C-alpha cells in the first residue's frame, strides 16, 4: 500500500512528490493526477503541467472523469493498491476523514507551514482539511461567491444594501412588488447548491460547519427550518434561473 496526496493546490503538492511518492512514470518526471473535472478541463490542466515541470522539474498527466460516481469508485478501488494516483482531487469533511482513518493519504501539516503559507495560501483554509490535528489536503482553488446588485435599481426604490438576512428578504420583497426579478441564479446545474449553502451559513454558521463535517443531518430540525425558508423564497418567486444574457438594468442578479 502507498499513501497518496489529496489535493487542490497543484503547484504546491507537486513539489512534494520526491519525498512522498506517487503514481506515474518517474523516468518522465510525471505523475498521474486524477480529477472529477473531465472534458476540456483535462487539456487545461495538462497545459499547466508543462509550465510546472519547466519550473520545478516535476509534471503530471491528468486523468479526468465526467461522472462523479464513477470517479469516486475509481479512486476508492485504487488507493489501497500500487495503481493509486500520485495526486487526486477529493472532498473535505467526512469523505476526507474516511481516507485518513484508513491511512491512505499523506500528512501535509509540515508542508502547510514550510511551503503553502509562505506561498500565500490562507492559513485558515487548512481547517477544512484538518483531521485529528493534522492537515491532509490543500485547496485546488478558492472561489468566493459574491452577490452583485443593481445600484440604479437600489437608488430608484430607495433601498440600502442589506446587512442582515431579514433586511435582504425585505429588499427582495420590495423589488418583487415593483415587478423586478429579485434574484437571478446562474444557469448551471452545479450552481444549484449555492443558495442552499448561503441560506444555511447565514442562518447559523455553526450549523453549516456541522453539516459539512457530517455532525448535522439534513433531516435535523434546524436544517428543516432552513429548508422552509428556501421553500418560502421559491413560492414567493424571489429566485429565477438566468443565463448570462439576462444581466440588464431590469434585473438584480446573484
What is the radius of gyration, based on Cα positions, of the chain? Answer: 22
Q: Grid coordinates standing for 189? A: 446545474
3-class DSSP state of 242: strand
| pLDDT tens readout for residues 51-92 | 888 887 888 888 999 888 999 999 988 888 888 888 898 988
pLDDT reading at 235 higher than 50:
yes
Q: Which of 165, 133, 132 is nearest to 147 (CA)?
A: 165
Predicted model pTM: 0.62
Choose between 143 and 92: higher pLDDT.
92
- Residue 236 has a pLDDT of 85
Terminal Cα distance for the chain, rounded: 46
Q: Is 155 left (phi over 0), alpha (psi -120 to 50) or beta?
A: alpha
Q: Report whether 181 contacts 240 (CB < 8 A).
A: yes
Domains of the chain plus CATH, in order, are 5-135 (3.40.190.10), 151-246 (3.40.190.10)
Stretch 18-44: mean pLDDT? 67
Q: Strand runs (DSSP E) across the chain, as ranges?
A: 5-7, 30-35, 59-64, 87-89, 130-131, 134-135, 183-186, 239-242
What are the tens digits of pLDDT across the range 150-177?
999 999 999 999 988 889 889 999 999 9
Amino acid at each position: 500500500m502507498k499513501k497518496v496526496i489529496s489535493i487542490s493546490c497543484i503547484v504546491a503538492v507537486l513539489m512534494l512528490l520526491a519525498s512522498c511518492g506517487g503514481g506515474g512514470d518517474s523516468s518522465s518526471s510525471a505523475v498521474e493526477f486524477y480529477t472529477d473535472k473531465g472534458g476540456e478541463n483535462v487539456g487545461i490542466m495538462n497545459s499547466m503541467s508543462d509550465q510546472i515541470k519547466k519550473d520545478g522539474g516535476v509534471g503530471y498527466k491528468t486523468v479526468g472523469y465526467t461522472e462523479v460516481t464513477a470517479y469516486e469508485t475509481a479512486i476508492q478501488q485504487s488507493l489501497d493498491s500500487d495503481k493509486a494516483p500520485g495526486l487526486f482531487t477529493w472532498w473535505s469533511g467526512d469523505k476526507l476523514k474516511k481516507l485518513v482513518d484508513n491511512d491512505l493519504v499523506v500528512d501535509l501539516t509540515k508542508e502547510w507551514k514550510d511551503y503553502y503559507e509562505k506561498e500565500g495560501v490562507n492559513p485558515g483554509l487548512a481547517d477544512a482539511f484538518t483531521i485529528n490535528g493534522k492537515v491532509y489536503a490543500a485547496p485546488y482553488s478558492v472561489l468566493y461567491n459574491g452577490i452583485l446588485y443593481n445600484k440604479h435599481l437600489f437608488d430608484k426604490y430607495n433601498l440600502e444594501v442589506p446587512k442582515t438576512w431579514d433586511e435582504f428578504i425585505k429588499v427582495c420583497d420590495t423589488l418583487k412588488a415593483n415587478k423586478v426579478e429579485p434574484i437571478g441564479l446562474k444557469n448551471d446545474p452545479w450552481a444549484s447548491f449555492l443558495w442552499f449553502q448561503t441560506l444555511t451559513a447565514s442562518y447559523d454558521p455553526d450549523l453549516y460547519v456541522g453539516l459539512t463535517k457530517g455532525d448535522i443531518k439534513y433531516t435535523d430540525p434546524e436544517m428543516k427550518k432552513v429548508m422552509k425558508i428556501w421553500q418560502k423564497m421559491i413560492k414567493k418567486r424571489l429566485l429565477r434561473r438566468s443565463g448570462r444574457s439576462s444581466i440588464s438594468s431590469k434585473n438584480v442578479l446573484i
